[in-house]
Chains A and B, each alone.
Chain A
Amino acid sequence: MMYRVCRLSLAALLLGSGAAYADGSTLTVAYYGGNWGEAFDACVAQPFTEKTGIRVVAEIGNSTTTLAKLQQQSGDAVIDVAYMDGGISELAHEAGVLAPIDLAAIPNAATYLPQAVYKAGDEVFAVSAGYYSLGLIHNTSEVTETPDSWLALWDESYAGAVALPSPSNSSGVPFVLFLARSVLGDTSESLDQTFAKLKELDTGLLFDSSGAASNAFQSSEVIIGAHFNVGAWDLTDGGLPIGFSVPKEGVWATDARMHVVKGTKNPEGAAQYLDMAASPEAAACLAERLYLGPPVTGVTLTPDVERKLPWGEGGSVEKLHLSDWTEVNARRAAIVERWNREIAN
């Protein structure tokens, strides 16, 4: 017993110092902190350990931090499986820190939605862990009629009380492209029309974090705007007069994705972990906890959870506008700069 404790703490020490420790009995998974991390732990990591006996060591950090860690450890992998959001996922792939995922080694992969498998050429570099969207949120006591179009944001009566994500939020830049393409019909390269329209908008908050948006909706600082489906439904679940809707133009969405790290010393463990994550039970569990849209078929959910999913009541993944992240990443710096000059001023 004493020996085990020693070994464990030594392992922790070695992991902490970046040295490799792998004999197949542990799997290091990088995921987010807070309630997302708790959900991944409860829905995937714990059942995975129960089933395989492989202990999961959590490496907590947001997508950007995880990518930085992967770049630092290249050559001597400590992290085996990494969760990263859409956008960062493509950057990680470009940075060459990911291993191709062998779907054949993952029995549950057969149930993946076609959109949930990310390929570069023939190689799979990421699989979806679940979708979330930026829906149209309104305060039901101030905005009595559920808006059916994003153009409602420009309604005179909501002047000064509109919330949008700022480019400091990972959804900010792709949301601008979504507004241009799917709402404003601006197909131009310059996005002049979109920025002109955004400039007209009298906003109350350009949020950099989901928490800031929740705060503002909660205190009625803003009464209409974009917010993540999970953040919005948490407010509703908490008894606040908040409504979530998927307007006729659809919603911008992205997903958390799972990646196998190049140089992992436990590829079998990683494949088993991905298999567990793709199970209907894990997907259902994540949908219940985070209202994360399942990336696999065959998941049964209660009607209440069903309507809180990113695509809304009766929707499906088709309702989601998933970004072309290569384009977003290429245009990111320019859009941020233009936003700074014209909107955040």
Chain B
Amino acid sequence: MTLLAIDDITKSFAGHKALDHVTLDIRQGEFISLLGPSGCGKTTLLRTVAGFMTADKGRILIDGEDVSRLPPERRPLNTVFQNYALFPHMTVLENVAYGPRRAGLARAEAERRAEEALEMVGLAAMSRRNPAAMSGGQQQRVALARAIVNRPKLLLLDEPLSALDLQLRKRMQIELKQLQVQLGITFIFVTHDQDEAMAMSDRIAVMSAGRLEQCDAPEAIYRRPRTRFVAEFIGEANFLPLDGAGPEGVLRPEDLRVLPEGEALPPGWRGLPARVTGVTYVGGTSNIYLAAGPRELLARSYGLPPAGMTAGRTVQAGFDPANLHPLGA
């Protein structure tokens, strides 16, 4: 069942198209990431959904109701802001109780709800603190508690983890995903980090230059990228002609095998002569960089690179044509 329908949204700033006919349906309970490089329009799209911006054209529907003209306070959603936007003149508890208070709850009831939400993010003990006196990770959890305390149908998260260090970030990714499953709230998660998107999302919406390039499950995005942009933005990609010549397809590095010259290929595989230009070994995987005529290719395998695989050596690069995914399909 569709919770949020983004219907043909277009938005321009001073002649520059920030959003270009974006249409996207998001289902109830889904965790969807808006992924793309900075300036691709993902944050603009989020702010349009939240109501901080008005689209030039198109509609936003939540549960079938057109909210395009509603101010932010009347939309059934909440946001976790990139810099958290915690109120510096309020305690943690007051920050979290702000939403319930605005929803008309009495102070005591609002604070009880706030305590619950803080419990959920593991900060129950810190409710009397001033947010400025907390670490980045803790502030992040307060922002999260504040956004979920009213149990919105839809939670918007604007790069909420970008300010955290790598370790904390990985942990928060897991916690966030668990929380989402536990609460059953639909999450729209803006990020420019493809790994983060891959790890957490049910679906990923890849955006580029104001356009929605592709929206699919992570595996489908990876395996069957529809455009060259998606293929390159998500993971690494080799581009090879589908059959000898003509349109190109995408071959992921782990599907490309490097074989000694003259060795027989598995049945049905295609091979092409190549020269090794470099070899790296990182974190349990080996990367072999190849030049096949004018093309640059990358092959990835687990474990150490095969013995004698040094730069300058002539080899053959082989792959199963079934793994070569045609673009645009």
A and B touch in the complex (CB under 8 A): no
